[in-house]
């Protein structure tokens, strides 16, 4: 029985009564109605029998991996079970309200907040330890108050008030509509994917970070979460810059500290933005630090400012159809003039029957007299005054359909206005001009932040009455509403406002008024004041939400160096995260340009939205059993389209910003993958990996691997000691050096016994082997089996290890140590049987002798050789092994030498050339040497297919002898070996054994090295020889020995077969 269910023993009636009676209000009376007494009596009676009570303690069983808390109950206190005493059994927290209240719309608006989930709980938390937590109130927010209005407030912001008219005038109605349509389509598709993810479970604090990390894994979640955090932080910078721009440009222009003269107004404005922005961010950070409850109290004011501003715009558009506002602008030729440079839009005026020059005359002429020297363009063109807002019925929409891009400093000119071109003079141009170069992609990057803010509803799912319904409906309705507002404003602005006024970014031609403000009704100050408080409130909300997003990432523990930002004040306020957020905000403030900051945060938001779409698409395509969203109007094609649109918009806005954002996300991803804590969240990437692995395994099994794709897929057979530790760890080092992380590696071992008894030991052994693999950097799989004996266990591993096409083709094992001194022959018999079963399985066998003397992964060979004695054509495996070893840094500087054996009658020179050509075709660099032996002495070796290590040393020693000494030594070796064979055969014929071990006391083979007389190649080789061992061992079968004894001792006339014509 699970430990979540606790059995209450019989006889604890008194305790049950006390527990029930203590659930009263402080006044001593029952909190409920008369039915509560009945519940109390029934509870007391139930204590007299065994009952099952559900315990809210975490389950003690499991795999040990950290899991997230329950998404249904937000409380995480240890005594949270007491908070719900007397409640009916409920699945969701929203169902636990025993006395629901029906509040009016005004009451809901009075409690309106745009803060993310968890902020209010932090503010209301008590600082005294041990204080009992207040009982959780049931959420009362519906779709309109909880989702629709917060999303509306976050989407409609600074870009609409400060830059939207300029975008419409610069790009034209058609391209502006295309920009708005692309961006709104991107957010709508993202909202559909987000609704599917959000309705698949409650989204706690963290919003998009939580959705992405739990859907795509901690690596993607951490990378995109930090990018979203940076986007939210730079959004705070953008809102603060918008606030200061409204303050210094439209409310109190005289408050500027730096004054620009002779064309330095733009630089002075940037410095003013930096100074005032820094002061503003310090003030806002202090407000957030003191308490977000003050921000919460102003939320309704900020919302009212946004709504009133929107209504004022539409009211002004309607009024302009029959009574356009009077805001004239002055044109010289077709160029629009700065309003601060003139008082009357005319060159001269009549005063007291006299023609008097105006202030405008003095701008272009060197004196106020009528015969003064003036600018050529001024003399040749007339001054014209036109309406800045001609109205909805004026037909100006046809002039504003097309784009009007230009470089920095290009003059704003009215299309279709008569003008005579003339060279400009050295006088300062008093015209309205472009402050930056304009083009389509720039406008996309500047506009996109105005459609962000769609996560406001999903971030507060715990505060909603029905999150499964409210999030999709509220978010999609908010996006539809704002999309309608933006698209209608594109058409209405183009139909009501003159094109030159639309392209006047700061309203310099209309007496320094906000362009969108002069269109509104009843007064431009409605928009100015409303936009000021709206942007100020948005900045406060960014400084409130961004630190909590960083805190959620830090508390997950997936990025180790961010853990310090998970701490804060006693009530949970993220103090350190707030300081970091304010510091990053200051970077945006120092940029000081709204047009430069907007594309930066567009990159981060677009990347976040792209991965939200990717998460939905992956979950839908995988069809995981847990993927059961309540929102049904989604499809993977929509998510894929949204992801593609986000990626395209990233590169449309700024390709280099997009690459930088991807580089940042990639670095964070690799850091979390390398250093981050392991989290098991059941993410979609793991499911995607399983599907990909299944597909790849099925494809691998369709056909055998081609020779070009063949490589050793190792099965490493390990022996364990009595404490279940690895005996020969250097075998794993050799595996690492041989594989270099490529191909398949299966490390297997066997424990004697039965699985029911030895299961704990098997688990412990597997952990020990994995630890040894990690220490030796061996990448592969571990498999420990329990069998009645070692022979059967290794046989099972050889037969069944691997899956589908991912099976081993090579077995690597160690030579049994001290097998001759052991009284029990089981050790070497198991070794022999393993060799036989590997051969029966048609797999390659690698036996490492003296494995403990092999180099470790930390050693480096500065020189040396890898010698290969190639006796029989084996398909090139012996050639491949040293090549693979040379790829590892331990053996990288070693050279390869190939030795082969020839008969006396063979042409050794031609054999050497053939072998060199063979290596050339194999693209291997190696030295080639041919060792010649007599036919009678090489026959046994051709039966055995290889030479053992002692025979290799014997050959090398022969290289040190002179020719006469070598001939005498060869004769003695031949006589001794043959007489020993006869004696051994005579003594062992009666035993009937299948195998005979022949021990030769001194030497066992005859060898002779014939070298090319025309070269001195053997002189160098003779310096690189090893010592010969005292005893040499060779294994013969009985049939082979009998055939050898009966062979004619005279040398045969037939030479050795051509080794190079044999097929693998």
DSSP conformational letter for 857? T
pLDDT band at 308 (very low <50, low <70, confident <90, very high): very high
User: What is the percentage of the chain residues whose pLDDT exceeds 70?
Assistant: 70
pLDDT, position 44: 41
Contact assessment for residue 815 and residue 781, using Cβ atoms and an 8 Å cutoff: no
pLDDT, position 10: 45
Please give the residue that has the higher pLDDT: either 29 or 814. Answer: 814
Separation of CA 240 from chain center: 31
Backbone angles phi, psi at 110, to 5 degrees: -65, -30
Contact assessment for residue 665 and residue 227, using Cβ atoms and an 8 Å cutoff: yes
pLDDT, position 580: 93
CA 981 to each of CA 477, 950, 993, 1038, 1045: distance values in angstroms, whole numbers, following the listed order: 97, 18, 16, 12, 8
Instruction: Average the pLDDT over each of 173-177, 222-226, 427-431 and give the range with the smallest value.
Output: 427-431
Short-list 1000, 697, 714, CA closest to 843: 714
pLDDT at 689 over 60: yes
Contact assessment for residue 390 and residue 496, using Cβ atoms and an 8 Å cutoff: yes
d(CA 392, CA 747): 79
**Cis peptide bond upstream of 522, omega within 30:** yes
d(CA 204, CA 556): 13
Backbone angles phi, psi at 384, to 5 degrees: -130, 140
Query: Distance between the two ends of the chain, CA-based, in angstroms?
Result: 61
Short-list 605, 321, 662, 555, CA closest to 448: 605
Backbone angles phi, psi at 307, to 5 degrees: -65, -40
d(CA 546, CA 552): 10
Residue 679 burial by CB count (10 A; 0-12/13-18/19+): exposed, middle or buried?
Answer: buried
Question: 660-682 pLDDT, tens per residue?
Answer: 999 988 898 888 888 765 666 66
Instruction: Average the pLDDT over each of 13-17, 263-267, 335-339 and give the range with the smallest value.
Output: 13-17
Let me know how many helices (H) and strands (E) the chain has, helices first: 37, 17
Cβ count near 439 (within 10 Å):
14
- What is the pairing mode between strands 328-332 and 383-387? antiparallel
Average of per-residue pLDDT values in the chain: 76
Backbone angles phi, psi at 803, to 5 degrees: -145, 125
Backbone angles phi, psi at 1021, to 5 degrees: -70, -30
Three-state secondary-structure class, residue 901: strand
pLDDT at 950 over 70: no
pLDDT, position 904: 76
User: Which residues face 464 on adjacent strands?
Assistant: 141
d(CA 184, CA 848): 66
pTM of this structure: 0.68
Short-list 680, 654, 661, CA closest to 610: 661
d(CA 37, CA 592): 67
DSSP conformational letter for 803? B
User: Which residues face 261 on adjacent strands?
Assistant: none
Which H helix or E strand runs over 159?
helix 158-162
Which H helix or E strand runs over 558?
none
Separation of CA 1015 from chain center: 62
Most confident listed range (123-132, 160-169, 1010-1019): 160-169
- What is the pairing mode between strands 383-387 and 781-787? unpaired
d(CA 116, CA 407): 42
Dihedral over Cα of 386, 391, 395, 401: its sign:
positive
DSSP conformational letter for 128? S
Most confident listed range (60-74, 289-303, 430-444): 430-444
- What is the pairing mode between strands 927-933 and 995-1000? unpaired
pLDDT band at 191 (very low <50, low <70, confident <90, very high): very high
d(CA 672, CA 219): 6
Please give the residue that has the higher pLDDT: either 1006 or 951. Answer: 951
pLDDT at 499 over 60: yes
Cβ count near 332 (within 10 Å):
23
Backbone angles phi, psi at 141, to 5 degrees: -80, 135
pLDDT at 401 over 70: yes
Please provide the DSSP assignment of 611-669 as one string. HHHHHHHHHHHHT-TT---S-----HHHHHHHHHHHHHHHHHH-HHHHHHHHHHHHHHH
d(CA 266, CA 259): 10
Contact assessment for residue 672 and residue 558, using Cβ atoms and an 8 Å cutoff: yes
d(CA 509, CA 431): 9
Contact assessment for residue 252 and residue 265, using Cβ atoms and an 8 Å cutoff: no
Question: 83-138 pLDDT, tens per residue?
Answer: 444 444 433 334 344 444 434 555 555 555 555 555 544 444 434 444 444 444 44
Which stretches within 812-907 are classed as H helix? 826-840, 877-886
For the chain, state the CA radius of gyration: 43
Three-state secondary-structure class, residue 845: strand
Q: Output the CA angle 672-678-680, nearest 5 degrees.
A: 120
User: What is the percentage of the chain residues whose pLDDT exceeds 90?
Assistant: 26
Three-state secondary-structure class, residue 930: strand
pLDDT band at 741 (very low <50, low <70, confident <90, very high): low
d(CA 255, CA 242): 16
DSSP conformational letter for 30? -
pLDDT, position 242: 94
pLDDT band at 493 (very low <50, low <70, confident <90, very high): very high
d(CA 977, CA 998): 10
Contact assessment for residue 940 and residue 1034, using Cβ atoms and an 8 Å cutoff: yes
d(CA 933, CA 85): 94
d(CA 700, CA 186): 40
d(CA 409, CA 261): 17
pLDDT, position 110: 54
d(CA 710, CA 275): 67
- What is the pairing mode between strands 810-814 and 844-848? parallel
Which stretches within 431-512 are classed as H helix? 440-447, 467-496, 499-502
Contact assessment for residue 233 and residue 574, using Cβ atoms and an 8 Å cutoff: no
């Amino acid at each position: 029985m699970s430990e979540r269910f606790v059995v209450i023993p019989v006889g604890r009636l008194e305790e049950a009564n006390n527990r029930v009676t203590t659930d009263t209000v402080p006044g001593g009376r029952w909190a409920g109605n008369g039915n509560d007494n009945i519940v109390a009596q029934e509870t007391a009676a139930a204590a007299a029998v065994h009952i099952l009570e559900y315990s809210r303690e975490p389950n003690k069983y499991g795999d040990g991996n950290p899991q997230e808390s329950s998404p249904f109950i937000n409380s995480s206190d240890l005594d949270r079970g007491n908070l719900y005493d007397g409640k009916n059994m409920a699945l969701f927290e929203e169902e636990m309200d025993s006395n629901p209240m029906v509040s009016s719309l005004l009451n809901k608006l009075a409690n309106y907040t745009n803060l993310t989930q968890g902020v209010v709980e932090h503010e209301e938390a008590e600082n005294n330890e041990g204080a009992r937590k207040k009982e959780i109130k049931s959420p009362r927010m519906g779709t309109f108050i909880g989702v629709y209005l917060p999303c509306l407030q976050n989407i409609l912001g600074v870009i609409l008030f400060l830059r939207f008219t300029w975008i419409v005038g610069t790009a034209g109605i058609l391209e502006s509509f295309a920009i708005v349509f692309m961006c709104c389509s991107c957010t709508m598709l993202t909202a559909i994917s987000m609704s599917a993810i959000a309705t698949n479970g409650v989204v706690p604090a963290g919003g998009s970070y939580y959705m992405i990390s739990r859907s795509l894994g901690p690596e993607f979640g951490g990378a995109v979460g930090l990018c979203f955090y940076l986007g939210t932080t730079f959004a705070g910078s953008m809102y603060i810059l918008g606030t200061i721009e409204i303050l210094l440009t439209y409310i109190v222009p005289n408050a500027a500290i730096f004054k620009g003269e002779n064309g330095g107004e733009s630089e002075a404005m940037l410095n003013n933005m930096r100074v005032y922005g820094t002061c503003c961010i310090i003030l806002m950070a202090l407000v957030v630090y003191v308490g977000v409850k003050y921000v919460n109290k102003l939320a309704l004011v900020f919302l009212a400012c946004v709504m009133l501003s929107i209504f004022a715009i539409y009211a002004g558009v309607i009024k302009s159809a029959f009574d356009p506002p009077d805001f004239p602008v002055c044109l010289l030729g077709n160029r629009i003039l700065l309003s601060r440079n003139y008082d009357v839009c005319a060159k001269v005026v009549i005063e007291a029957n006299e023609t008097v020059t105006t202030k405008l005359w003095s701008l272009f002429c060197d004196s106020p007299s009528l015969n003064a020297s003036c600018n050529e363009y001024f003399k040749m063109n007339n001054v014209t005054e036109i309406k800045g807002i001609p109205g909805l019925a004026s037909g100006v929409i046809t002039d504003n359909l097309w784009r009007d891009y230009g470089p920095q400093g290009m003059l704003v000119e009215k299309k279709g206005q008569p003008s005579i071109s003339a060279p400009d003079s050295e006088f300062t141009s008093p015209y309205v001009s472009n402050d930056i170069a304009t083009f389509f992609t720039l406008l996309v990057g500047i506009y996109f932040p105005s459609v962000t803010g769609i996560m406001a509803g999903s971030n507060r799912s715990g505060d909603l009455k029905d999150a499964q319904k409210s999030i999709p409906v509220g978010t999609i309705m908010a996006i539809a509403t704002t999309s309608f507002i933006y698209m209608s404003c594109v058409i209405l602005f183009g139909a009501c406002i003159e094109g030159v006024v639309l392209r006047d970014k700061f309203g310099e031609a209309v007496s320094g008024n906000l362009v969108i403000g002069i269109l509104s009704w009843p007064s431009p100050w409605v928009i100015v004041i409303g936009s000021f408080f709206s942007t100020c409130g948005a900045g406060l909300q960014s400084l409130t939400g961004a630190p909590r997003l960083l805190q959620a990432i830090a508390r997950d523990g997936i990025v180790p160096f961010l853990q310090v930002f998970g701490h804060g004040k006693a009530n949970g306020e993220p103090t350190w995260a707030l300081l970091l957020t304010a510091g990053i905000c200051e970077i945006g403030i120092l940029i000081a340009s709204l047009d430069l900051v907007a594309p930066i945060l567009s990159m981060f938001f677009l990347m976040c939205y792209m991965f939200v779409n990717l998460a939905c698409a992956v979950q839908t395509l995988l069809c995981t059993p847990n993927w059961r969203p309540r929102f049904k109007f989604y499809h993977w094609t929509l998510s894929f389209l949204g992801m593609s649109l986000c990626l395209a918009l990233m590169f449309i806005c700024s390709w280099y910003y997009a690459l930088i954002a991807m580089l940042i996300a990639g670095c964070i991803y690799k850091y979390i993958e390398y250093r981050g804590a392991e989290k098991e969240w059941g993410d979609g990437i793991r499911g995607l990996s399983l599907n990909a692995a299944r597909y790849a395994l099925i494809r691998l099994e369709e056909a055998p691997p081609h020779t070009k794709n063949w490589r050793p897929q190792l099965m490493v057979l390990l022996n364990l000691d009595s404490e279940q530790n690895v005996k020969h760890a250097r075998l794993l080092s050799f595996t690492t050096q041989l594989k270099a992380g490529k191909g398949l590696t299966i490390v297997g071992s066997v424990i004697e016994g039965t699985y029911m008894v030895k299961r704990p030991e098997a688990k412990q052994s597997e952990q020990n082997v994995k630890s040894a693999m990690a220490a030796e950097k061996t990448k592969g799989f571990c498999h420990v089996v329990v069998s009645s004996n070692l022979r059967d266990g290794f046989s099972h591993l050889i037969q069944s290890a691997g899956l589908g096409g991912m099976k081993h083709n090579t077995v690597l094992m160690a030579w049994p140590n001290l097998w001759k001194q052991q009284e029990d022959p089981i050790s070497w018999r198991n070794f022999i049987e393993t060799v036989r079963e590997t051969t029966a399985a048609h797999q390659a066998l690698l036996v490492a002798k003296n494995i403990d003397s092999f180099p470790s992964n930390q050693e480096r060979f500065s020189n040396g050789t890898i010698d290969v004695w190639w006796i029989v054509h084996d398909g090139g495996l012996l050639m491949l092994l040293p090549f693979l070893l040379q790829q590892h840094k331990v053996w990288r500087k070693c050279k390869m030498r190939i030795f082969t054996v020839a008969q006396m009658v063979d042409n050794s020179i031609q054999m050497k050339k053939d072998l060199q050509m063979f290596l050339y075709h194999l693209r291997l660099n190696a030295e080639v040497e041919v060792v010649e032996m007599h036919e009678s002495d090489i026959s046994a070796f051709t039966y055995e297919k290889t030479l053992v290590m002692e025979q290799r040393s014997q050959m090398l020693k022969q290289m040190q002898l002179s020719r006469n000494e070598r001939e005498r030594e060869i004769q003695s070796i031949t006589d001794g070996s043959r007489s020993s064979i006869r004696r051994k055969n005579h003594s062992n014929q009666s035993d009937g054994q299948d195998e005979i071990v022949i021990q030769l006391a001194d030497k066992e083979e005859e060898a002779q090295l014939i070298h090319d007389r025309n070269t001195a190649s053997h002189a160098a080789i003779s310096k690189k020889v090893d010592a010969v061992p005292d005893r040499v061992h060779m294994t013969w079968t009985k049939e082979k020995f009998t055939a050898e004894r009966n062979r004619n001792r005279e040398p045969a006339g037939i030479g050795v077969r051509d080794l190079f014509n044999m097929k693998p």
